[in-house]
A and B are shown apart, each in its own frame.
Chain A
Amino acid sequence: MSAILRLEGVHTNIAQYQVLHGVSLDVPEGGVHVILGRNGAGKTTTLRTIMGLWKARLGTIQFRGQDIAQLGTPDIARLGIAFVPENMGIFGGLTVEENMRLATHDGSFDTERLARIHAIFPAIKQFWAKPAHALSGGQKQMLAVSRAIIEKRDLILIDEPTKGLAPSIIRNMIVAFREIAEETTILLVEQNFHFAKALGQTVAVIDDGRIVHRGSMTELVEDAGLQSRFLSLSLEAH
C-alpha cells in the first residue's frame, strides 16, 4: 500500500510549549485510519499541523509526495484535504445550504453527490434552509462531515467526531463513514475505542507527542496485551 500522507519527525510548538516531539506516521491510501490517544497527547495538534493551522517547526509532511509542511492552510485545503475540527467549525449564522455551498469550489453543487449526502444524512436535507445554529450536536457533526465530502477529496481529517454524541447517532456515523471511505481516505482522531475499532484499518497510538505504536486494527483488537499496554494509556479518560 502506498502512503497518501507521510509525516516524518514532525515537531510542533505552541508558543514555547513543545507539543509534538517527532511524530512519524504513514497513512495508506483508502480506508479509515485512526490515531488513538488520551487528552493532551497531541492528537488534535497532529491534525492541525497537517492542515497548516499550526506550523511544524521541524520534520516533513508529505501529501502524495509533495512537502506541504510550509504551505498555508488554504493551499493545503486546495490539494484535496478536508478538515472536520473538534468543534466542527459550523457557521451558525449561515444556513445549512450556505455552509455546504461554501465548501464547494465554485458555489455550485453536483446534484448527484448532494442527493447521496442527503441519503446518508437525511437531517441535512430536512434542515437545508434553516440556520445551522439551530441544529443539534449530532446534526452539526453530520453537517461538518457532509461539508467535507460535498466534493471529492483525497483525504479527510476528522477530529473526534463522536465526542458528546448519543450511541444511536454514533451507530449512524459508523455506517456513514464506511460509505465515505469507499472513495476517499479518512484520518480519524479518536478516544472512543469502540468507534475506532468498528472503522479503522490501521491504528497509531500517540502519547506525549510521539507515536508509540503503529499497526493494523485487527492486530490491536486481537492482542489483549497490546490493548492493555496502549489503551489503558489511550483511554484512561473514558
Chain B
Amino acid sequence: MSMARNSSALASKSLRGSAISATWPGRLVVYGAVALIGLALALAPFLFPDVRSQEVAARICVFIVLVASYDLLIGYTGIVSFAHTMFFGLGAYGTAIALKTMGPGFEAILLGGGLGVVAALVLALLIGLLSLRVKAIFFAMVTLSAASVMMVLASQLSDFTGGEDGITYSIPRLFSPAFELLSDAEGKAVRLFGVPLNGKIALYYFVFISALVLFLAMMRIVASPLGSVLKAIRENELRAEAIGYRVVFYRTTIFCIAAGIAACAGILRAVWLKYTGPDVVLSFDIMIDILLMVVIGGMGTMLGAVIGVVLMTLAQYYLKDLMALGAEATGSLPLVPDLLYPERWLLWLGLGFILLVYFFPSGIVGTLLGKGGQK
C-alpha cells in the first residue's frame, strides 16, 4: 500500500505544475490586482459609499481571512476539511450570544469571541488528533460529519442560538451610524469627501484592519519554518516522516491555527452584521463558497484567496442581476430562461468549477504565476 500512497502524493504534486519560473506579465497582473483590491478595500467607505457596496466590501474583508485560513489547510498542507464553517460559526455565535446576553460592549465581544476561538481550538485539536493520522479522504468525511452536527445543534438549541432564525443584537455604540467620530460646530459628523465620519466608518475600519492583520499574520506563517515543514509534508508525507517530522503534530497544529483564524473571521462577521444565524455563518453553502473561492483563486497561494474572494463575491452580488436580465430577455424561449434564472447560477458555477479543476488546477493566481506552490 505504501507505493500507492506514495504515487498519489506524487500525482497531487504534479498537478501543481512544473516549476517554470514566474512570468513577469503574470506577476504584474497578480500583484497589481491585489494592490488594487487592497487599495479599493482600504478606501471603500469613500469610493463606494452606498449601503450595498459597503456590505460587499466588508464581506470581502471577512472572507479573505476565512478563505486564506482555509488555504493554509488545503493549499499549503493538503488537508481537505469541511469543518471550516463550523469554526467560523463558533466565533460568530460566541460573539453573538455574548452581545445578546451581556449587552453591547467591547468586553462582550472580547469574552464571547474569545470563548468562540477557544472552543474552535479545542474542537480542532480533538478532531485533528483523532483523525489526522488517517487518510485525507477519511478526514474530509469526519470533518463533514462534525460540521453537520454543529449545524443541527445550532438550529436545535434554539434557547441559546435562536435556532433557524438566529440572533439579532446591538453592537458597541462606537460602531453605530449615530455615533460621530468627529463633530463639527453644528454637532454633525464631519464629512470627508462627502462621507460622514460616523460609527459605520469606524465599524468598517475595525473589520478591515483586523482582517488585514490576520491576513498578514498568515502570510508570515507560510513564510516561516512551519510553512516549509508543511510544504515538505504535503509534497511527500512518507519522506517527511522518514526525515523525522511528526506529521500528525504539524498537521494538527496548522489545523488548530486555521480554526482559530476562522473563528476570528466569525467574530468580525458577527460584529459587522449585527445578526448571526445558520445561513450566514454555518450553512454548507458557505463551505462550498470557501472551497470555490480558494480553488478559483489558486490553492497554496495566499494571494489567490484575495482574487478568488473578490471574483466570487462580485459575481454573487452582481452576476445574479445580470442573469435575471438574461432570463427576462429570453423569456419567450423554452428552457433557456430556466437555465438563466438567477437561482440557477450555482449550476454554471459548478460546471465552471469542474472545468477549472481539470484544466487550471492551480487556479487563477497559480496559473498566472506559473506555479501553484508558494512564491
Interface residues of A, Cβ cutoff 8 Å to B: 14-16, 48, 53, 85, 87
Contact = CB atoms under 8 A, between A and B. Distances in A.
B63 to A, nearest CB: 33
Contact of B14 (A15, A48, A85): A15
A53 B11 CA distance: 14
Given A16-B14, A48-B3, A87-B2, 13 more contacts: A14-B7, A14-B10, A15-B10, A15-B11, A15-B13, A15-B14, A16-B13, A16-B18, A16-B19, A53-B3, A85-B3, A87-B1, A87-B3
Nearest to B19: A16
Nearest to B2: A87
Name the residue among B11, B13, B18, B19 with the largest chain A CB count within 10 angstroms.
B13
Contacts of A14: 7, 10
A112 B232 CA distance: 53
A133 to B, nearest CB: 13
Interface of B: 1-3, 7, 10-11, 13-14, 18-19
Contacts of B14: 15-16
- Provide the main secondary structure of the chain A interface: loop
A53 B4 CA distance: 10
Contacts of B18: 16
- Nearest first, the 4 A-B pairs at minimum CB distance are A15-B10, A15-B13, A15-B14, A14-B10
16 contacts: A14-B7, A14-B10, A15-B10, A15-B11, A15-B13, A15-B14, A16-B13, A16-B14, A16-B18, A16-B19, A48-B3, A53-B3, A85-B3, A87-B1, A87-B2, A87-B3
A16 B11 CA distance: 10
B15 to A, nearest CB: 10
**Which of A14, A15, A48 lies at the interface centre, i.e. has the most chain B CB atoms within 10 A of its CB?**
A15
A14 B3 CA distance: 12
A166 B18 CA distance: 45
A132 to B, nearest CB: 14
Nearest to B9: A15
A85 B6 CA distance: 15
Nearest to B18: A16
Nearest to A85: B3
Contacts of A53: 3
Contacts of B2: 87
A172 to B, nearest CB: 26
A183 B178 CA distance: 95
A87 B11 CA distance: 21
A87 B3 CA distance: 9
- Highest count of chain A CB atoms <10 Å: which of B1, B2, B10, B18: B10
Contacts of A87: 1-3
Contacts of A15: 10-11, 13-14
